[in-house]
Every structure is written in C-alpha cells, then in structure tokens.
Structure 1
Amino acid sequence: MHLPRFIQCILMLMLSAWLGGVSGAHAAHAFPGQTYTGHDIAGQALAGQVAVNRSPTVAPTERTSTARSVAKTDRREPAGGNPGRILFILASSKVHGASALPASISFGEVVHAWDTFHAAGYSVDFVSPDGGAVPILDAYVSKEVEPRLKDGRIMDGLRNTAKPAQVDPARYRAVYYVGGSNAIYGVPEHPVLQNIAMHVYERNGGVVSAVCHGTAGIVNLKLSSGQALVAGKRITGFPEEHEDQGAAYFKEFPFLIRKTVEARGGSFHALDGNQPYAEVDGRVVTGQNYASAKPVAEAVVDVLRKLADRQPGSGAAKR
C-alpha cells in the first residue's frame, strides 16, 4: 500500500526538478547578463546592456525611451532632406583694423546659440576667414559662460575653424554670424563667405542670421539679382549710437552698421538698453546685442521648422 505512494512522490520530485531546469534555461537565454556584477563588467562596452538586464521589468522601457530621444535629436533632418547643420561664421582678426588694439569674438554669443541649436537637434560647424583658432579675450567671456571654455564640443570647433574654401555650403540649413569686437573686420568683404551665405539662402532655401556686431557680416550680401539681401527688410544689430564713439577702437571701424544697412535699403531697428531684441523678416534673422543670441537662435529654429512643415508645391519660401 505504501510502495505506490512512495513511487509517486519520487516521480513528482523528478518532474519538479526537470521543470525547474527548463525554466532556468529559458531565463538565462532571455537575460544573458543577469548574473554579471558591476565588478565583472567594469570598463566594458556592454555595461549599459547589462544594466538593462539587471531590472528586466523596468529597464527595457527606459532604454526604449532613450533610444527614441536620441533618434529624435541626433537624426533630425530638416526640410529638403539635408543633414540639419548650422554654420557659425566668425572673424579671425585679433586686432581692430590696422591698430594694435586687441579684438575678439563674443564667446557667449557662440555658447548660447550653440546650446539652442544643439537642443533642437542641429549640428554646428565653424568657419573663419583664416581658419584655425579664433581669438577669445577674457573681456568677452562672462562668468556665466566661463565654464564652457572647458567644453570640448565647442572649444575644439573654435580652435579648428574651417577655411571658407573647405566649406560645402550645400550641407547647411542656416548660417549664423557671430558678433564680437572683431566681427566687422575680414568677414563682411570676404567673397567666399558671401558665396556660402547666399548659397544657403537662395539654393538651399535656408536662413541667414546674425547677432550684435555679427550683422556687419550681412550688409554686403547680394541676391543673384544683384539686390542687397537687407533691402526692404527689417534688420537689427549693434548700432553705432551705442558705441563709445570717442574710443580708439571706434576710429578703426571700416563702416557703421546702421548707416550701411540703411544705405543698402534696409530698415534698421534697435532699442535703448541691453534687453534682448531680435528681428525676423522672412528667412533673415538678426539680433541687436549679446543678450539676443539665444532669441536669434530660437527664431532660426522656428523658421526652419516652419519650412520643414511646408508641403511640396506649397510655394517658394519668402525671401
């Protein structure tokens, strides 16, 4: 009477052991890294995958969310199927004109615009008349952006700007003329930089933007028709009435921004004080001062998004 019952227990134990082995095998296949520890994988490229496998009920959702975010940010392609790049145009001059007075780019105008474009998914490249490193004086680096002097993503670009002849304008959706005390020298009259900007504007259907003294860079730009780009447009920049006109640097200026814009047929607008101020006229975006760098970049992003949303055959972009 007891023998059958004993045999039944043995069979049940054997079946239980067999089922446990199968279950363990499936679990090992589904989460191959679950037995790894931080010590086991230190320094290995698979560490991120293992972290996901440690918490299979939570981590896969987080990982999917991250992947979508990266795809949306880094693989964004604005209108026309272009790769979504913005070209920063900077000046190379280390002095004001023919003087020995030191001059510089505005580092903050680089940083604030770069942050805005980067957050919107655009890549940024740098070009200057001479290529290579551009001057950055301490006077043009505020406490707010000083830590970014250690940001390799920006500094590598500013130390290794491309020469104009190395730039393929077909890659860019917009150009952004950076201000600073040197922006009025070497850039406005540079024929290759002019051609790059107008290729982006006319052939790519892109945006021309500038901030503060960077507006000097656009005053000589001409459409293929020969008309000045600024003609008939609302433009802003750093006006000569805000300069220290008794200072030695001012005497080196080859031209005045407001006066030249107006001479080219543009309508120049500026506010008193240092508050941000930007003008958007079609695909030309300009900012008055240092504080306007971020608003200018935001406006450029907004214009590009609107262009990207346009359906084929909806009409040419406004000049």
Structure 2
Amino acid sequence: MRLSRVIPSLLILLLVWLVSTPAAQAGGRPTAETPAREGQQRILFILASSKVHGTSTIPASISFGEVVHAWDIFQAAGYGVDFVSPDGGDLPILDAYVGDEVEARLKDDRIMGGLRNSLTPAQIDPSQYRAVYYVGGSNAMYGVAENPTLQRIAMHVYERNGGVVSAVCHGTAGMVNLKLANGQHLISGKRISGYPEEHEDQDAPYLKEFPFLIRKTVEARGGLFHAIKSYDPYIEVDGRVVTGQNYASATPVAEAVVEVLRTLADPPATRGATTR
C-alpha cells in the first residue's frame, strides 16, 4: 500500500483516540483519572451539597456571590479553579443567594459548569492545589466539617503543599475540625473570622438545625475569633490561614489568598509537614 494512503488513515485514527480519552471528555477538569493541567497552579473551592437545613425541609443554598467574586480574583491572578462537594454533582443555588450584581453570571458556563458538575472528594488529587477556599451559604454548616476526605485534602494542601486554607462567612464552619499532623487543631491560636451566631436571626427555625455555632466552636478549638458589628468587609490573615466574616468579604479574602501565595516559594513535592 502506498504511504500517501496510509498517513491520512493514521491521522484520523489518532484524532478519534484523542477525542475519546478521559482528559478530553472531562473538559480538562482534574478527576481521579485526569490530573490538572501541567504548569497551572490551582485553587479548590469546597462547597456543601445539602439542599435543606439539617433534617428539616427548610431550603438551603450555596452563596453564589461568594463563588463569583472569589473566582474572578483567582482567575485574574492566573489560577485555575475546581469545585468539590461532599456528594459531587449539582449544587443548590436559591434566588435569595444570588445578588443583583452577580445574577448575569448564572449564564457563565465557566462557573456554572463547575457548580452543576462538582467533583466528589474521591476525585480530587490534593497535590494539585495551592489553596482551598471554603464557600459560605446557608448549607455550609452541613456535611463539610465532618467529611474526613475533605479534611485530608485541606490538610494535604496546607501541610504537604505549603498552601493556604481560606474561608468566608459560613464557610468557616468547614475548618473547625481540621487538625495538623501533630493532632492540634489548625485554628488553635490563630485569628479567625466567619459569620458569628449573634448575627443570625435568633428566632428563625433554621438556626435550631445548626449542628454547631461558628464562634463558639472556633473558640472551643482554641481559635481567636474576631468579627465586627457591621456588614462591611472584614478579614483575618494569620500566616497561611485566611478567613472572612461575611458575603462582602469574599473579594478581600481572595485578594489576601493571592497575596499570601505570592509571598511563598513554590514548595517542592517532597516538602514535609509544617505547623504554620
């Protein structure tokens, strides 16, 4: 057979094989079979899956604006972003948690694709990430803090990658059970912010469903909780731990994470555990 006839056939077979690979089918998102793109540093958004408060029928949601505002900052700084939740898949977004300034972003496929197809903890390779970002919303109190795989991911990023652990608003709830390799709570002795229970609607039925209270639990774990009596942005940066009090703090939290990462040398893959 003439070579001029063989080459086109081989090229067609090669193209078919490339399109059918897991990497192509996953759209470039890292999965258990498909690592993150080589060379691009990434940040992992940790969100809750729960659609209701606790065992009630009261609807719960992620905070869409806390996703969008942080995503914009990280993307502008050159970081890739992935989304993980305890159950994976489609995440709840209630209208009440979509501010006017971000409503148009519900049509942004770059964000919505991740929120409609969030990864499961088992699909995450923690070695790929420079930071984790716990997103708030009314459902952030459920299913994240007690998830052992999410805990291991966060602490791998912090201790083995030398990365940043961050959270905003109710997302701080996801950090309360994180422990260093020496058994000490990550937040012990650190300045921490988040949405304090005194700012909740004290008579609202949802509050009775909370499995714990953020300020009280942070302090019980040895954290130094700080918040202001305002809806203005407020963040705390303590080493490689960055936390924000409320919705308005999502942008400054992300900016602070980027700034901390810029001060850190890219850690070698063999770096051991640290305690900062």
**TM-score normalized by structure 2?**
0.83
Which 4+ runs in 1 deviate beyond 2 A? 308-311
> For 1:199-250, what per-residue CA distance to the aligned partner results, in whole angstroms no more than 9, with x for missing partners?
0000000000000000000000000100000000000000000001111000
Give the conservation status (yes or no) of the 8 Å contact 1:82–1:172.
no
Structure 2 CA distance for aligned equivalents of residues 257 and 242 of structure 1: 11
Structure 1 CA distance for aligned equivalents of residues 260 and 41 of structure 2: 13
Structure 2 CA distance for aligned equivalents of residues 280 and 82 of structure 1: 27
Correspondent of 1:231 among 188, 199, 211:
188
Matches within 5 A, 1:4-83: 83=40
CA shift for structure 1 position 83 = 3.1
Structure 2 CA distance for aligned equivalents of residues 250 and 305 of structure 1: 39
Q: Which residue identity does 2:108 align to in structure 1?
A: D
Aligned residue for 1:136?
93
Correspondent of 1:248 among 190, 205, 209:
205
Q: Return 5+ residue gaps in structure 1 as ranges.
A: 1-80
Structure 1 CA distance for aligned equivalents of residues 91 and 183 of structure 2: 31
Aligned residue for 1:117?
74
Aligned residue for 1:286?
243
Structure 1 CA distance for aligned equivalents of residues 253 and 203 of structure 2: 30
Give the conservation status (yes or no) of the 8 Å contact 2:159–2:274.
no
Give the conservation status (yes or no) of the 8 Å contact 1:283–1:318.
no
SS in 2 for 1:291: helix
RMSD: 1.6
Q: Which residue identity does 1:304 align to in structure 2?
A: L
Aligned residue for 1:262?
219
Q: Return 5+ residue gaps in structure 2 as ranges.
A: 1-37
Give the conservation status (yes or no) of the 8 Å contact 1:92–1:134.
yes
Query: How many residues are aligned here?
Result: 235
CA shift for structure 1 position 82 = 6.0
Aligned residue for 1:305?
262
Structure 1 CA distance for aligned equivalents of residues 46 and 73 of structure 2: 16
- Are 1:191 and 2:151 counterparts? no
> For 1:163-191, what per-residue CA distance to the aligned partner results, in whole angstroms no more than 9, with x for missing partners?
00010000000000000000010000000
Give the conservation status (yes or no) of the 8 Å contact 1:104–1:182.
yes
Give the conservation status (yes or no) of the 8 Å contact 2:162–2:267.
no
1:82/1:269 CA distance change after superposition, 3 Å: farther
1:310/1:134 CA distance change after superposition, 3 Å: closer
Structure 2 CA distance for aligned equivalents of residues 114 and 260 of structure 1: 28
Q: Which residue identity does 2:120 align to in structure 1?
A: K
SS in 1 for 2:203: coil
Structure 1 CA distance for aligned equivalents of residues 127 and 142 of structure 2: 26
Q: Which has the higher helix share?
A: 1
Give the conservation status (yes or no) of the 8 Å contact 2:91–2:116.
yes
- Are 1:150 and 2:150 counterparts? no
Indicate the structure whose relative CO is greater, using CA pairs within 8 Å and at least 6 residues apart: 2
1:82/1:203 CA distance change after superposition, 3 Å: farther
